[in-house]
Amino acid sequence: MKKLDFFPGLSHFEYVLRLFVAGTRERSYTSHDNNVQTLAMLIENTTVLHHKVVNGGYRLLTLKSKLIAPAVQPGQFVHLRVPSLADAVLRRPFSVFRAQAGRLAILYKTVGKGTQAMESLRTGDEVNLIGPLGIGYPNVRRNSLPVLVAGGYGMAALYLVAQRARGKGIVFVGGKCADDILCADDFRRLGWNVRVATEDGSAGQKGLVTRILDAWLNKDLRGRTPEFFACGPNGLLKAVCKRTVRCGWSGWISMDRHMGCGLGACLACVQKVRMRDAAGREKWAWARVCTEGPVFACRDIVWEDRGRTTDAGRQTSDF
């Protein structure tokens, strides 16, 4: 597809979407009342600095990024154009795992043709990104104990939360087996307490991550007020929401949805949420995960039983 000269790297289709989004910036749903939101959206041709296998089918891709990296807030994502696929193919969304001056990293799992094509990226290759996108996690509230709960590559979305938090907290991470436990040592190096559970018992305690979470909540909370930050498969997010809503705790989850445009225009990514109308009455509405999320307040999500999701990295267990 022909590129427009005045937005390098942007296809005609994306340019039209961008105009559309610019005209629909007014957000119908907002979950964050205590956070600064970044609405800046940049397009950048980044360069691969490193690309390596981390665990099993997971890879760490580090990109040289002068524009997007410094603007990233915890929980935001980038929309990546997979270079070896045709221009017309949709971009793929990935949480920003690390961001520091001049570079950003994503941690990804190969699940289909886009991520498979990404495996062939080499140092020096160019990768076009749009980002930082979406509304990320709010700052940890004063006097609360941050509790991070992750499944698989959900750890990627949570690293910046831990790195930028004022205090230290605790991380519960789960997966099917040891290969799904990513970057636990990165969190330990930040001084966070990391607890691991795997379904087959190959790392940490055997069982679901909610089992070790519940045990800790019952025995070790000791009057402190937890604030939850979660990212992972739907079952895990739902379990976190159930616990926070029941106890009146604050909780934030990052939702994973198939995305088309990533810019709020195609409505491929909607999630049912609770919100209040102008008169203060509660109602439900559709929120776009790409622009009003991916991070939502637990109390706002309307969970519908659509059956179990079954694909790689997104488990089928009941939490």
Ligand X SMILES: Cc1cc2nc3c(=O)[nH]c(=O)nc-3n(C[C@H](O)[C@H](O)[C@H](O)COP(=O)(O)OP(=O)(O)OC[C@H]3O[C@@H](n4cnc5c(N)ncnc54)[C@H](O)[C@@H]3O)c2cc1C
The closest alpha carbon to 54, from 151, 119, 124, belongs to 119
In whole angstroms, the minimum distance from the beta carbon of 106 to ligand X comes to 6
b or e along 227-249 (b: 16 or more beta carbons within 10 Å of the residue's beta carbon)? bbbbbbbbbbbbbbbebbeeeeb
Pick from 10, 203, 269, 301 the residue near ligand FES by CB under 6 A: 269
Across the beta sheet with 226-231, the strand order is 205-206, 193-198, 170-175, 145-151, 226-231, 250-254, 295-297
CB contact set of 190 (below 8 Å; sequence gap of 6+):
162, 163, 168
Q: Between 248 and 307, whose beta carbon lies closer to ligand X?
A: 307
Q: Between 153 and 172, whose beta carbon lies closer to ligand X?
A: 153
Q: Between 136 and 251, whose beta carbon lies closer to ligand X?
A: 136
Q: Does 315 bind ligand X (CB under 6 A)?
A: no
Q: Does 91 bind ligand FES (CB under 6 A)?
A: no
Pick from 11, 115, 198, 250 the residue near ligand X by CB under 6 A: 115
Pick from 119, 260, 285, 317 the residue near ligand FES by CB under 6 A: 260
End-to-end CA distance of the chain: 45
253 binds, among ligand X, ligand FES, none (CB under 5 to 8 A by kind): none
In whole angstroms, the minimum distance from the beta carbon of 270 to ligand X comes to 12
* Eight-state DSSP code of residue 183: S
The closest alpha carbon to 269, from 133, 149, 152, 155, belongs to 133
Q: Does 114 bind ligand X (CB under 6 A)?
A: yes
C-alpha 298/C-alpha 296 separation (Å) is 6
CB contact set of 86 (below 8 Å; sequence gap of 6+):
none
* Eight-state DSSP code of residue 90: P
Pick from 127, 171, 290, 298 the residue near ligand FES by CB under 6 A: 290
C-alpha 83/C-alpha 63 separation (Å) is 14
Q: Does 259 bind ligand FES (CB under 6 A)?
A: yes
Q: Does 287 bind ligand FES (CB under 6 A)?
A: no
Q: Candidates 14-22, 111-119, 170-178, 213-221 — which segment interacts with ligand X by CB under 6 A? A: 111-119
Q: Between 114 and 226, whose beta carbon lies closer to ligand X?
A: 114
Enumerate binding residues for ligand X (CB under 6 A). 77, 92-95, 106-109, 111-115, 153, 156, 256-259, 294, 311, 314
Enumerate binding residues for ligand FES (CB under 6 A). 259-262, 264-269, 288, 290
